Structure 1
Amino acid sequence: MPTTPDALTAIYEDLHRHPELGGQEHRTAGIVADHLRALQYDVTTGVGGTGVVATLERGAGPTVLLRADMDGLPVKEDTGLPYASTATATTADGEEHPVMHACGHDVHVTCLLGAAARLAQDTEWRGRVLLVFQPDEENGNGARDMVADGLFERFGKPDVVLGQHVAPLPVGVLGVHAGSAFAAADSLRVVLHGQGGHGSRPEATVDPVVLGAATVLRLQTVVAREIAGSDTAVVTVGSFHAGSAPNIIPEQAELQLSVRTTDEHVRTKVLAAIERIVRGEAAAAGAPREPEVELLQSFPAVDNDADACARVATAFQDGGQHLVVDPGPVTGSEDVGILATEAGVPCAYWLLGGADPALFAGATTVDELRRVVAELPSNHSPRYAPVAGPTIESGVAALVAAARSFLG
């Protein structure tokens, strides 16, 4: 059972070595289910695809939902760790890609297993623990799929939703922010149509590569020139595909965009600006067809409840193990808020420091912490690697403290 630091580190290293993409977390789900059954939890698998739900009851009292996501990313690992991933998987486009736990979901799973063990051993609390190991967070589908599969009808509604996300903050630091804590996310696919031809005769074509390049540059003005400095927005072009040979001007180019906002008005404005720019650049280039703008996925901002955040922050500080800071709104996104919204209950979702504290020597303010964080490999980087043992111990303690602050 995952009760000792060494046992938890071994679980973490195994999960890190064997990541799985969203919707494909069969091995991970099996490991989770086996450990929870050994701890005497009531375990159900296959919820919302590959999700695992486990419950433990100790008499009358509140129900506390603790959530961890399980999926990896199509990233080739470059950490140099002895337990680095060499796994590959087939993505939705039918191509084989390297896979890595570049976002730290292996940390999340390990921490929740550790917390499950400590809560099972603790006989003093009253109420009900509802553990949700969620698939497919990166594609924004997992929380919705579990809700659609009857999560709350089958296992009951919680009184609060709790969870954490590892980040390149120093180990021992927890970031708690009330209100819009994590940004809403929208992913878009844009297809720009040109008129192909020979690379030596561009005058006989409408070049979608040039059109795409102009569109990418113009999209940078959305945040820089259309969004107020006091508002939060990010527009990233993460993928640009066009052409097959140096001497052929292709028929089309495809862009994939990621948009992050924390305010619905700003979100509406950004999405409208993207559509306007895409269509405007196509018209300016004389494109033979209107471009296609498709929304691939969308999930809302995580709205942290102020009272719930105050309660968990107090619990973290009372333990004497953590330094609690307010990181402000985070432009990263999370679908955990959907669980709280669908259940109609408060949410408290915090950042878990996972970086070597020695890297932050001399930093005493949030601004100084941010400057160091900006220089470290971030989540989704092929070089992202939390300090395993101390991070896991900190994360387990945080989850247990948060849960106990609500349980009777």
Structure 2
Amino acid sequence: MTSPAARTALELTADLPVADLEDFYRDLHRHPELSLREHRTAGKLAGQLRQAGFETAEGMGGTGVAGVLRNGDGPVVLVRADMDALPVAEATGLPYASGTAGVMHACGHDLHVTRPAGAARALAAGRDTWRGTLLMVGQPAEETGQGAARMVADGLYERFGRPDVLLGQHAAPGPAGLYPHVPGLIMSASTDVDIVVHGRGGHGSRPEATVDPVVTAAYLVTRLQTVVSRELAAGEAAVLTVGRIEAGSRPDIISDEAYVSLNPRTRSEPVRQRMPAAVRRIAHGECLAAGCPREPEVTVGTTFPVTVNDAATDTAVAAVHGEVFGADTVFDPGPAMGSEDFSEPALGPVPYAYRFVTTTPAEVWEQAPGDTVPEKFSAVPSNHGPRFAPDLSTVAPGVRTLVSGTLTQLSVA
């Protein structure tokens, strides 16, 4: 182990208040808040930053938090943590499970807040070892793709200075203790699309007097699967998921309308633009075939850009993680189909590095069915699921990943 960043990181995190950080995490997990409602979470993070000596602002972009620690001449490094939870009913059985009905930290954002809080404390206490400006950002509304852009539009950079580099990380399934890095495209683009199918309602006993939008929506859902399987080249990576189909109020009533919501994902901008156009064409065609009284309403909603790491930045961070945790813990899994708004603040552009930290408890991984890593990976609880429960033992290493990665970008004494 030779790099100053690795040595300094281990020194600064040698005496982390692990019990306090785990309690902080449990508290956040018990009190999840949906996008742009993260008032309590933001207040908790702001309190941690102020206690560490950061100049702190709240309410940025709605419920965002920013804390800055200026420590002499050097780079401006932004470390981002997303804060919002999801409308998922928790089924983990944890003693610190969500106390809010139908809302859960099902994507690990409670970990994402806890680790920067610990990193801020460690880096502030060791400010004699580095120079530069550290900007810690608690971002709202990542799940809806709004938060990053809202904070930038609300003057984040004008108030605290434009960063030289952005750093972030995400909790992920996989045996705890691994740190996947990708020095390039790491996450995909996605676009939400909502469709309203207009029919002509009536009594279930007289379908001949109606135009049933449920039947049309069912054909539509099936046909949409051909966008990926029949309209894209085999070498193009894409996914199209229909996450919602909704209609009617009783078994014997044929509704006037049906609602379909879907999410296409891709790794290239040209394909991202083609997929909503294909969805629109298929929706119009199915409604025409069914004799719907009106054309469907097709609305393109939230769009997430691709996340493409700056290779040099990611390589530097991956190298220090290899030094701190062992070379066998760092690997390149290739790009994921998940999406993020992390790259939104980089518009300009600003180089950034984003990586994963695996969090599946060892016993859960070992007991998962399958003999190979892919088989087990598909079997363990994953992000956005009601049983997603990161191992508490990953809190402290997650702090260490942030501290060591951040020190590669600051001027280390």
**2: CA distance between counterparts of 1:164 and 1:206?**
49
- Letter in structure 2 aligned against 1:166: A
* Residue 328 (structure 1) aligned to one of 290, 311, 334: 334
Following TM superposition, by how much is the alpha carbon of 1:231 offset from its aligned partner in structure 2, in angstroms? 1.4
One-letter amino acid of the counterpart of residue 6, structure 1: A
Alignment pair present for 1:349 and 2:354: yes
Q: Does 1:26 align with 2:39?
A: yes
Distance 2:95 2:164 in 1: 41
Q: Distance in 2 between matches of 1:385 and 1:228?
A: 37
**Are 1:108 and 2:112 counterparts?**
yes
Please say if residues 304 and 347 of structure 1, whose CA atoms lie closer than 8 Å, have aligned partners that are also in contact: yes
Query: Secondary structure at 2:347's aligned position in 1?
Result: helix
* Alignment match, 1:182: 187
Q: How does 1:242-321 map to 2 (within 5 A)?
A: 242-321=247-326
Equivalences for 1:233-248 in 2 at 5 Å? 233-248=238-253
Aligned residues: 393
**Deviation digits for residues 181-203 of structure 1, max 9, x if unmatched?**
11112111100000111110101
Task: Work out the CA distance in 2 between the residues paired with 1:201 and 1:361.
Answer: 55
CA distance in 2, matches of 1:377, 1:227: 30
Q: For 2:240 and 2:48, how far apart are their aligned partners in 1? A: 41
Cα distance in 2, alignment partners of residues 129 and 161 from structure 1: 10
User: Which residue among 366, 385, 390 is the counterpart of 2:389?
Assistant: 385
Aligned-pair CA distance for 1:86: 2.6
Identify the residue that residue 232 of structure 2 maps to in structure 1: 227
Q: Find out whether 1:169 has 2:174 as its counterpart.
A: yes
- Does the 8 A contact of 1:64 with 1:406 survive in 2? yes
TM-score, normalisation: structure 2? 0.92
Matches within 5 A, 1:80-99: 80-88=93-101, 98-99=102-103
Aligned residue type for 1:145: R
Match of 2:400 in 1: 397
Q: Determine the C-alpha separation between the residues in 1 that align with 2:330 and 2:317.
A: 10
Contact 2:357–2:398 (CA<8 Å) still a contact in 1? yes
267-276 vs 38-47, which moves further: 267-276
Corresponding residue number in structure 2 for 1:62: 75
From 207, 215, 220, the equivalent of 2:212 is 207
How far apart in 1 are the matches of 2:63 and 2:325?
37
Distance in 2, matches of 1:205 and 1:18, equals 47
Return the letter of the residue paired with 1:330: A
Equivalent AA in structure 2 for residue 70 of structure 1: M
CA shift digits 1:54-112 (9 cap, x unpaired): 01111100011100000000010000000101304xxxxxxxxx100001000100011
The letter for the 2-side match of 1:264 is: E
Superposed displacement of residue 260, structure 1: 1.2
SS of equivalent to 2:244 = strand
8 Å CA contact retained: 1:172, 1:321: no
Whole-Å Cα distance in 1 between the matches of residues 204 and 134 of structure 2? 63
CA contact (8 A) 2:78 2:136 kept: yes
Q: Secondary structure at the match of 1:374?
A: helix
- Aligned partners of 2:190 and 2:272 also within 8 Å: no
- 2:48, 2:191 → 1: CA distance? 35
Q: Percent identity?
A: 50
Q: For residue 50 of structure 1, what is the amino acid of its counterpart?
A: T
Separation in structure 1 between the aligned mates of residue 192 and residue 383 of structure 2, nearest angstrom: 18
Conservation of the 8 A alpha-carbon contact between 1:79 and 1:385: yes
Letter in 2 for 1:21: L
Q: 8 Å contact 2:284–2:296 — kept in the other structure? A: yes
Q: Are the equivalent residues in 1 in contact too, given 2:86–2:106 (CA < 8 A)?
A: yes
Pairwise CA distance, 1:360? 5.0
